[in-house]
Amino acid sequence: KQEVTQIPAALSVPEGENLVLNCSFTDSAIYNLQWFRQDPGKGLTSLLLIQSSQREQTSGRLNASLDKSSGRSTLYIAASQPGDSATYLCAVSSLTGANSKLTFGKGITLSVRP
Amino acid sequence: DAGVIQSPRHEVTEMGQEVTLRCKPISGHNSLFWYRQTMMRGLELLIYFNNNVPIDDSGMPEDRFSAKMPNASFSTLKIQPSEPRDSAVYFCASSLASEVWDEQFFGPGTRLTVL
């Protein structure tokens, strides 16, 4: 059974700092990995999607990397801003029998202090 | 586009009552997903539909939970009878493609409290 872990559960940094959010998963037989952002009281917004054959994806100040063999992904946020404060979740997709599954981590709650 | 629409946004009910959550996916999307989010268990996929047909309901916790998608623009998640441990935020998401690994667009969620 796939398990996705995100540690720490919460992180507080000063504005302007570059930071890395970590995600680990137990089964390396994944189809892709996604990073989502969730604002308080809101749904999830997809940030980046990395296919299993890819090593990284970039969007603006965000860069996500994937090391499938070691079961790890990182989300790098450059020059953090207070507006980046949110919960960041990673999710891995894999095949389980005939069905595809999407397994989420519990998220890292990021607070960027002005 | 209005995005995925869920109603109600908040629901407070008493144990034993029937609860119905509603979702309108993005027009043209072929897949619809129901999730439940709690502090203890995080975000869990309950069931998903492709072209209105349930594909995988293995995440539905008990027979008290049921979901329907009578047409491409509407789905319901029903809990009958509800229990306090059902308290959670329930999200609906839709996708243009047919697999869970394709990009999904989430609604704002329904916060359910069962007293």
pLDDT in tens, chain A (114 residues): 889 999 999 999 999 999 999 999 999 989 899 999 999 888 899 999 999 999 999 999 999 999 999 999 999 999 999 999 999 999 998 876 666 778 999 999 999 999
- Which of A45, A101, A105 has its CB closest to that of B100? A101
Nearest alpha-carbon partner for A74 in A93, A50, A95, A104: A50
Name the percent of chain B lying above pLDDT 70.
Answer: 98
Q: pLDDT at position B38, please?
A: 93
For range B19-40, the mean pLDDT:
95
What does DSSP say about strands B110-114 and B10-13: parallel, antiparallel, or unpaired? parallel
Q: Could you tell me which residue, B65 or B39, shows the higher pLDDT?
A: B65
- Which of B4, B100, B106 has its CB closest to that of A93? B100
Q: What does the radius of gyration of chain A's CA atoms come to, in whole angstroms? A: 14
Q: Could you tell me which residue, B76 or B56, shows the higher pLDDT?
A: B76
Phi-psi region of B102 (alpha: psi -120 to 50; beta: other; left: phi over 0): beta
- Which of B4, B42, B99 has its CB closest to that of A106? B42
Report phi then psi at A82, rounded to 5: -55, -30
Contact residues, chain A, for B91 at CB < 8 Å? 43-44
Nearest alpha-carbon partner for B99 in A111, A31, A21: A31
Q: pLDDT at position A96, please?
A: 66
Using the predicted structure, report yes or no on whether residue B104 has a pLDDT greater than 90. no
B62 touches chain A (CB under 8 A): no
B5 touches chain A (CB under 8 A): no
Q: Do B99 and A100 touch (CB under 8 A)?
A: yes
Report phi then psi at B86, rounded to 5: -80, -5
Helix, strand, or coil here: A26? coil
Q: Report how many Cβ contacts below 8 Å link chain A to chain B.
A: 49
Q: Distance (Å) from the C-alpha of residue A5 to the closest C-alpha of chain B?
A: 11
